[in-house]
Structure 1
């Protein structure tokens, strides 16, 4: 009964062929083939908007006949049968705005898979979202021309480096981009892409580079980010250099020292709510620069500075840096910062300032020297009354365990005090 079949199939907006894997029964392909031959191309599922397909699916070869031309988003899984991907390339997708492609590695080499993905992306001109495992450089350059592209998440592993702005065929590359997540084994590429691109609307920039050489200087990258990214829009920044190295092995390499002066351009990004920096070299900071960060990023919620820590440094941030963060960053929730915990300020914040920090709950430290667990716990509870625990990797294990025990005890005492305050008719959020 074709009328009943078509009446139902025309209501389908999302189609997936992946349910036929992992032991699920395979449909009778002869029946499907007969159906597709009896109807015009795309007549069976003419109104599908969202398509999910796998290169290992038995349905893949029939997709060009099954699916209509109204697909706006497609998610493709490339398996070891990626040679069958040509069936997807035959689809007519004039309305496609979102493409997601993941690859399990399979038997094909990276170059083969990269070319398959890149060739597919280059054929689409209306894309708003590109989330693919990898692209070649020429396709990355092509994507910079897409006027509506808002989200780009990919790894670039092959091709020639961008040389200059003249390599881009438009005056303003990536004019509508809101989110950029770029991974590459070539750290200089990150600096070059940021240098020649203004990103006028960018809100999130996540940059990851492996294969970091001992001579690579990240100063140019940081300077370009501060100078080129609009300070009025960028709210989330992640820079991970040498991300293929384990933190435990950072001390085995002698990477260039990243000075506070190199980080200074990032202070221009006044609307940051998330800032994460991973660098396997030394990054000597002090209390003055942490205060500068706190003043520059008043809306920061997550601050994560992960660098090689020199336990003998005389200019490491002290507990005073936490006072600066508590004073200038009322929205701070999570902090990852190495400090010298042997120097504890005597000053305490007034109650009206402490009441602002109801959300701050987690602080992580690594190799931080410690002197008095009781003094530290008392100090932390005073400036961050909602702090739940300190996560650490430090030789001073017993001392930090004691800090966490005391913080928990102080929290219980404050909870009892708040209960008594409420019983007496005072505001229950008093600390």
Structure 2
């Protein structure tokens, strides 16, 4: 008899297993240790096997439990079965299958097994192949493997991921729609669902599944209709939400606008254009303590050069989200979107983003895909004072912004460093010219020991003086990041030689400072 309870042994073996989460060799070594322990005595065997089989990748480990005379390999090296397993052989496999709580299957896992293996698994004598499965990640798009997927889905499922292997999206098909049509009712205990099924035609199928879940905690999916969003708004358990929105205005009445009052931690919305995002924010209200907001905006050709609604969009955004917001990240699905921001008529002033100043807890701010900002040093100072918790700030990037003139100077950068003491990353274009270090704000700004600076394609004069002043503010900085010129771009990036000089001077200055510190320490 073991002197330790089974629960304690399980915890010990789990700790050993967790110690191997580094390299593949460490993982193999930790699992070999647990396997050796399982063979030591009968008391150790059960909890050790529970740990070894709790999380598996692919079907191959299970198939390998069949006797050697049953399992074989094809001429192509795939795992196959020489004959259908007998009842007693299935019972041997079930001793391990009941221990599996988490299963990940990717495309290459399925390529390792033959059709005979799939046919045998979907004909298992038991009602479920893995009766205690809690988490399933299925990374494959092929409909021919759907019978295997269906046999893996059991009522105990809590976390379900359905994606393509090469693409994050699940390509639409009738078989997938048929599965999603019943998945909510058949597996009501799902807490986490991850399936980006971006098909507006199938949004009702996906939305029906979502409406059947009443204890969702995390949801990442495709197009949802207003009914599904209203259901999600009523769930107190929901903590993170990611979905695609097209035109909610088509089926939304004022009295049926979804109002989120639960304490969501994060929300992510993908829309095809600025105007769709504007309509989405008008027809949904996120009155919750949301800390992270991610917006992915597509490039509708009809609106490509029409960003005139950006000011109204930012106002809608400020009215839709709570002042406790900490991270605002705006991205685009099309890099060419930068070109539309190159137009001077879309270089918006400080007044456009003023509604965002209420989010005083912001730690991450990325506005590069919202608009191009033409803000001077004083406006940048006001922004820095309004967002003192900033850790990462990205105001603009890429060559399209940088080829235009800028009203920001080195002084604007100093304002950010002075008022945002937690900053560790700045991406901003500015006119890098030496400033007077004996007056405000430079004279009262404390050095930041650890900050990464990306200057894009910033104009610069007097690289030696700029490097010295950067070193005074950022003593550990050895180089600055710049826009990476593509092979298709003609010539060399503007001001590349000057910024190369800055890098050389920064390396000399930091090495000299280290030598001084060592001498003073003696």
- What TM-score, normalized to structure 1? 0.82
Corresponding residue of 1:179: 266
Alignment check: 8 A CA contact 1:46 1:68 kept: yes
Call closer, same or farther: CA 1:161–1:29 in 2, change over 3 Å: same
Secondary structure in 2 matching 1:216? coil
Structure 1, unaligned runs of 5 or more: 424-431
Corresponding residue of 1:360: 451
Give the structure with higher Rg (CA): 2
Q: Distance in 1 between matches of 2:520 and 2:115?
A: 66
Alignment check: 8 A CA contact 1:340 1:369 kept: yes
Q: Distance in 1 between matches of 2:414 and 2:342?
A: 33
Give RMSD over aligned pairs: 3.2
How far apart are 1:100 and its partner, in Å?
A: 0.8
Secondary structure in 2 matching 1:28? helix
Give the number of the structure with larger relative contact order, counting CA–CA contacts within 8 Å between residues 6 or more apart: 1
Corresponding residue of 2:468: 378
Call closer, same or farther: CA 1:274–1:281 in 2, change over 3 Å: closer
Corresponding residue of 1:152: 241
Alignment check: 8 A CA contact 1:98 1:127 kept: yes
Corresponding residue of 2:72: none
How far apart are 1:396 and its partner, in Å?
A: 1.4
The farther-off stretch of 191-200 and 47-56 is 191-200
Call closer, same or farther: CA 1:138–1:94 in 2, change over 3 Å: closer
How far apart are 1:26 and its partner, in Å?
A: 4.2
How far apart are 1:353 and its partner, in Å?
A: 5.2
- Does 2:477 align with 1:387? yes
Q: Distance in 2 between matches of 1:298 and 1:23?
A: 54
Corresponding residue of 2:380: 290
Secondary structure in 1 matching 2:348? coil
Write out per-residue CA displacement over residues 90-113 of structure 1, whole angstroms, 9 at most, x where no aligned residue: 45212101111146x8xxxx4456
Map of 1:327-342 to 2, 5 A cutoff? 327-342=418-433
- Does 2:294 align with 1:206? yes
Call closer, same or farther: CA 1:272–1:66 in 2, change over 3 Å: closer
Corresponding residue of 2:393: 303
Corresponding residue of 2:358: 268
How far apart are 1:390 and its partner, in Å?
A: 1.9
Corresponding residue of 2:195: 101
How far apart are 1:330 and its partner, in Å?
A: 1.4
Secondary structure in 1 matching 2:466? helix
Map of 1:100-119 to 2, 5 A cutoff? 100-102=194-196, 110-112=199-201, 114=203, 116-119=205-208
Which of 20, 36, 47 is residue 132 of structure 2 equivalent to? 47
Write out per-residue CA displacement over residues 339-384 of structure 1, whole angstroms, 9 at most, x where no aligned residue: 12235233378999535x1121223233x22211011111111111
Corresponding residue of 1:72: 158
Write out per-residue CA displacement over residues 212-236 of structure 1, whole angstroms, 9 at most, x where no aligned residue: 45153222232233344322x3111
Call closer, same or farther: CA 1:80–1:27 in 2, change over 3 Å: farther
The farther-off stretch of 80-89 and 317-326 is 80-89
Call closer, same or farther: CA 1:100–1:80 in 2, change over 3 Å: closer
Q: Distance in 1 between matches of 2:172 and 2:409?
A: 56
Secondary structure in 2 matching 1:180? strand
How far apart are 1:71 and its partner, in Å?
A: 0.5
Map of 1:17-56 to 2, 5 A cutoff? 17-18=105-106, 20-35=109-124, 38-39=125-126, 41-42=127-128, 44-53=129-138, 54-56=140-142
Q: Distance in 1 between matches of 2:273 and 2:443?
A: 50
How far apart are 1:116 and its partner, in Å?
A: 4.8
Q: Distance in 2 between matches of 1:13 and 1:157?
A: 37
Write out per-residue CA displacement over residues 267-294 of structure 1, whole angstroms, 9 at most, x where no aligned residue: 1111111000024754210111111111
Q: Distance in 1 between matches of 2:111 and 2:121?
A: 21
- What TM-score, normalized to structure 2? 0.69
Write out per-residue CA displacement over residues 180-239 of structure 1, whole angstroms, 9 at most, x where no aligned residue: 1111013234334445514321000111222345153222232233344322x3111113
Call closer, same or farther: CA 1:57–1:175 in 2, change over 3 Å: same
Secondary structure in 2 matching 1:358? coil
Alignment check: 8 A CA contact 1:295 1:328 kept: yes
Secondary structure in 1 matching 2:289? coil
Q: Distance in 2 between matches of 1:347 and 1:401?
A: 27
Q: Distance in 2 between matches of 1:50 and 1:244?
A: 34
Q: Distance in 2 between matches of 1:312 and 1:82?
A: 47
Q: Distance in 2 between matches of 1:164 and 1:189?
A: 17
**Aligned residues between the structures:** 407
Q: Distance in 2 between matches of 1:166 and 1:380?
A: 56
The farther-off stretch of 138-147 and 281-290 is 138-147
Corresponding residue of 1:427: none
Alignment check: 8 A CA contact 2:409 2:432 kept: yes
Secondary structure in 2 matching 1:365? coil
Alignment check: 8 A CA contact 2:248 2:279 kept: no
Corresponding residue of 2:257: 168
The farther-off stretch of 396-405 and 3-12 is 3-12
